[in-house]
A = this chain, B = another copy of it.
């Protein structure tokens, strides 16, 4: 048994690091097993000792991408307490991501573009999307929106738009545009929420009057 704390990285870890780099920057189908093991500096047998096959490696690659990204977003959100600021923080984290020279879009978006509908990529993407939607629905609920689902849908679309625009135009500026858009949507949602509250209170007072007089 090797201890988890060891000086030199394990072969499996080095494979995952190499695969992450290559798969993300060049696409999954474009990168062969041989290139992964060459970059990792391991023997072919090590790959098939640690992974059931390429699909298994791809699955771990996407799973790691998911967990690392969700942790990063969670950290960005956790830096704020104000519900509105917590939402906008997501787009700031995106901005930092876009600014990285290695940025090449969403790993899941890129993977399903070259994968079959029933592939491991599709499954991982489905899981990832569930996380995205849950994230924004929770945030939209916390901000006290009159229609949280509608707000969440808008925020998800803005999120996706930022990711896609930043990739295709190779500019981190998309994050600022997304943030501005999110602010606009939040302002609008707050206005709608206030109006709904006013309406409700008016209705209550009418009922009260009615009850009192009746």
Number of identical protomers: 2
Known interface pairs A153-B177, A162-B157. Does A109 touch B29 (Cβ–Cβ under 8 Å)?
A: no
Chain B residues, Cβ within 8 Å of A116: 26, 30
Residues of A within 8 A of B (CB-CB), count: 43
Picked from B27, B162, B185, the residue with its CB within 8 Å of the CB of A114 is: B27
Answer whether residue A38 sits at the interface, using C-beta atoms and an 8 A cutoff: no
CB distance from A186 to the nearest CB of B (A): 11
Answer whether residue A193 sits at the interface, using C-beta atoms and an 8 A cutoff: no
User: Could you tell me if B167 and A112 are in contact, using CB atoms closer than 8 angstroms?
Assistant: yes
User: Could you tell me if B188 and A184 are in contact, using CB atoms closer than 8 angstroms?
Assistant: yes
User: Could you tell me if B165 and A156 are in contact, using CB atoms closer than 8 angstroms?
Assistant: yes
Q: Which of A154, A173, A185 has the most CB of B within 10 A?
A: A154
Chain B residues, Cβ within 8 Å of A115: 27, 30
Known interface pairs A27-B113, A154-B180, A180-B154. Does A164 touch B168 (Cβ–Cβ under 8 Å)?
A: no
